[in-house]
């Protein structure tokens, strides 16, 4: 099947998989009926992962590490491509977790994706690392998710998302704030997810008291980035390598902790 035809019916194929109000299985349980070929990378947290989506099959490499992302990511790419028997030019595009997240991790993912895309002449989908967490939550269509990822320095990256048919839709700007201000001004939320809760137990306690369903220990993961990236690429929203840029939100290392800093995607 030619690339143009794959892109023409990708959204319709995914909608046929989902029905309104249905419970969505964990991402790892989904076999993708998406006629797209996408390589995805996420190194925005201590989780380093690479995924390869080939039509209805998704392969994943995942490892938790504090400082070895740069050593792991390219071997993971090579392993997945060799395992699948494909080359980069055979793909429809690349996707990466563009942040918010750790400065070093975002620079690694951006540099790797830019290099691969430039060499293979492929478009790139830059995917929110918070949206990649929301994608893994078993929320029904229309339900909302507060994503909370640890930002170090006593702060949390957060944003509110909604599962909308095939997509994850952002309802608030991506923000960084102290835990007590997480969710400030946000709409009603049913789920909370991310990797922030073990480091900020008071936040977890507050959200549970407010009636939210907590999904702990979910990191941004390349298979979620691949799925969301496939939708972006199919819609023609891929960008050239030089325009695939990270989103930091926190522009300064030192600043007043009480301030909420936001980024509109």
Query: Side-chain half-sphere of 138: how many Cα atoms within 13 Å?
Result: 12
Write down the architecture of domain 134-216 according to CATH. 2-Layer Sandwich (3.30)
How high does pLDDT run on average in the chain?
A: 85
Per-residue pLDDT tens digits for 27-77 = 443 334 458 999 999 999 999 999 999 988 999 999 999 899 999 999 999
CATH 3.30.420.40 positions along the chain are 3-130+220-259, 134-216
Instruction: Report pLDDT for 263.
Output: 55
Q: Which helix (H) or strand (E) holds 95?
A: strand 93-97
Per-residue pLDDT tens digits for 138-183 = 999 999 999 999 999 999 999 999 998 778 999 999 999 999 999 9
Closest CA to 91 of 7, 167, 162, 17: 7
Write out the CATH class of domain 3-130+220-259.
Answer: alpha beta
Per-residue pLDDT tens digits for 206-253 = 999 999 999 999 999 999 999 999 999 999 999 999 999 999 997 643
For the cut 70, the answer to whether the pLDDT of residue 18 exceeds it is no
Q: What is the DSSP letter of 64?
A: E
For the cut 80, the answer to whether the pLDDT of residue 256 exceeds it is no
Three-class DSSP category at 182: coil
Distance in Å from the first CA to the final CA of the chain: 33
- 207 dihedral zone (left: phi>0; alpha: psi -120 to 50; beta): alpha
């Amino acid at each position: 099947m030619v690339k143009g035809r794959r892109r023409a019916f990708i959204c319709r194929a995914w909608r046929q998989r989902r029905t309104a109000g249905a419970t969505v299985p964990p991402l790892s349980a989904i076999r993708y009926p998406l006629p797209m070929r996408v390589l995805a990378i996420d190194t925005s947290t201590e989780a380093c992962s690479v995924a390869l989506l080939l039509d209805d099959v998704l392969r994943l490499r995942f490892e938790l590490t504090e400082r070895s992302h740069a050593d792991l990511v390219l071997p993971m790419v090579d392993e997945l491509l060799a395992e699948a028997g494909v080359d980069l030019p055979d793909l429809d595009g690349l996707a990466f977790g563009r942040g918010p997240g750790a400065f070093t991790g975002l620079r690694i993912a951006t540099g790797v994706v830019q290099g691969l895309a430039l060499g293979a002449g492929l478009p790139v989908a830059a995917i929110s690392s918070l949206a990649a967490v929301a994608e893994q939550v078993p929320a029904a269509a229309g339900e909302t998710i507060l994503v909370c990822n640890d930002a170090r320095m006593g702060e949390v990256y957060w944003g509110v998302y909604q599962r909308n048919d095939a997509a994850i839709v952002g309802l608030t700007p991506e923000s960084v704030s102290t835990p007590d201000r997480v969710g400030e001004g946000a709409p009603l939320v049913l789920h909370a997810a991310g990797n922030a809760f073990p480091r900020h137990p008071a936040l977890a306690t507050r959200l549970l008291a407010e009636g939210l369903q907590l999904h702990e220990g979910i990191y941004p993961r390349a298979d979620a980035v691949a799925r969301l990236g496939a939708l972006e690429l199919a819609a023609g929203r891929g960008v050239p390598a030089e325009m695939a840029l990270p989103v930091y939100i926190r522009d300064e290392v030192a600043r007043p902790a009480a301030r909420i800093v936001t980024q509109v995607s």
